[in-house]
Amino acid sequence: MTLQATVVKNAGSHYLLSPLPRWEPFPAVLRGRVRLARSSSTNPVAVGDRVLCDMPEEVSEQNPAVISQVLERNNYLIRRSTNLSRTSHVIAANLDRVIVVTSLLFPEIKLPFLDRILVTCGVYGIPAVIVLSKVDMYRTEIPEDVARFHKIYEGAGFRVIETSTMTGEGVRELRNLLSEGLSLLSGESGVGKSSLIHAVDPALNPKVGRISDYHLQGRHTTSLYEMYPLSGGGYLIDSPGLRGFGLVDLDKEEIYKYFPEMLTASEGCRFTPCTHTHEPGCAVKAALESGAVSPERYNSYLGMLEEDTKFRQ
């Protein structure tokens, strides 16, 4: 029997699938020819992928389903693979939004990392929302930095939600946002993603998870990508903490188009194309001088032009 299902957990060579919207996870493996057909990335199947699978009469850990086909994706989030400059890794597929969790302190924010995720979301047409976590720890200490962050990113057109798992601030707003469709929660290591997941749905503990009782627990749990059904509605994919984010499938000449504030300003450039670095009559440089484009975002743009020599992947 052939069944359509969604990948809800990826543990390398083994998967959990579920026939969403029913939450009935079962184990599966990947047929070899499918692996070869998608060999351009390190993972031929990602969490969120809709697949066809051949079902045995009784599926079990010893007798798993076999993924025979990966259906066309609506979108996906991809990054350059760790330490492999010529290969890429698909983080998740068929997303309704990406929630990028960041913190100004503990750990200290790295804007080039954040901007690379936002640019990649723009490239693949995925709405992105920024969650500023741990605000109770630094709002009174560095209020000017919090205000500056809002000015930069809300000015660029992004929604910013302040949250604190200690006080509960922003949790209801985040829960409401996640209650429809499929969301990916991403961010650097240590920004508090696991605590946020537990705050949004106290029934979930992302370190062990509702579906971690299955055979896919694995030895390297921090590298797993896993989907959770939320009690308030919607599904959430938790991703491991990332140390960097390499761009994929983006020409340098196109990068500025995914900085909304730079794209708007570029309409006034004297020359086309314009790299927005040295050309006379560059409207983006003028916007930088006037404050319409922030120096922080512009520096991220310059770093992307230089590619990944300065930032770990």
**Domain at 165, CATH number:** 3.40.50.300
Return the pLDDT at 190: 86
Distance in angstroms (rounded) separating the CA atoms of residues 263 and 246: 21
In a domain, 245, yes or no: no
Nearest CA among 105, 115, 165 for reference residue 138: 105
- The domain total for the chain is 3
Distance in angstroms (rounded) separating the CA atoms of residues 252 and 264: 18
Range of the domain at 130: 81-238
Q: Are residues 55 and 165 in the same domain?
A: no
* DSSP-derived pairing of the beta strands 235-238 and 225-229: antiparallel
In a domain, 168, yes or no: yes
Return the pLDDT at 225: 84
In a domain, 170, yes or no: yes
In a domain, 244, yes or no: no
In a domain, 243, yes or no: no
The pTM of the full predicted model, rounded to 2 decimals, is 0.87
Taking 70 as the pLDDT cut, the residues of the chain under it are 33, 35-40, 81-86, 206-223, 241-244, 308-313
Return the pLDDT at 223: 53
Nearest CA among 176, 171, 111, 110 for reference residue 135: 171
| Cα torsion 237, 242, 245, 246: sign | negative
- With tokens 């991403």, the residue in question is 186
Distance in angstroms (rounded) separating the CA atoms of residues 212 and 202: 16
In a domain, 60, yes or no: yes
Q: What confidence tens digit (pLDDT) does each residue in 76-111 have?
A: 998 876 544 567 888 999 999 999 999 998 888 889
DSSP H helical segments within 12-81, as ranges?
32-37
How many other C-beta atoms lie within 10 A of the C-beta of residue 78?
23
CATH number where 64 lies: 2.40.50.140
Distance in angstroms (rounded) separating the CA atoms of residues 75 and 184: 12
Q: Are residues 209 and 260 in the same domain?
A: no
In a domain, 111, yes or no: yes
Q: Which long-range CB contacts under 8 A does 304-309 form with residues at least 24 apart? A: 304/112, 304/115, 304/116, 304/119, 304/247, 304/252, 304/255, 305/252, 305/255, 305/275, 305/277, 307/247, 307/252, 308/80, 308/85, 308/244, 308/246, 308/247
How many other C-beta atoms lie within 10 A of the C-beta of residue 194?
16
Nearest CA among 284, 279, 313, 278 for reference residue 112: 313
Q: Are residues 90 and 228 in the same domain?
A: yes
Bond prior to 229 in cis (omega within 30° of 0): no
DSSP H helical segments within the chain, as ranges?
32-37, 111-123, 135-138, 143-155, 171-178, 193-200, 260-266, 283-290, 295-305
- With tokens 């896993």, the residue in question is 226
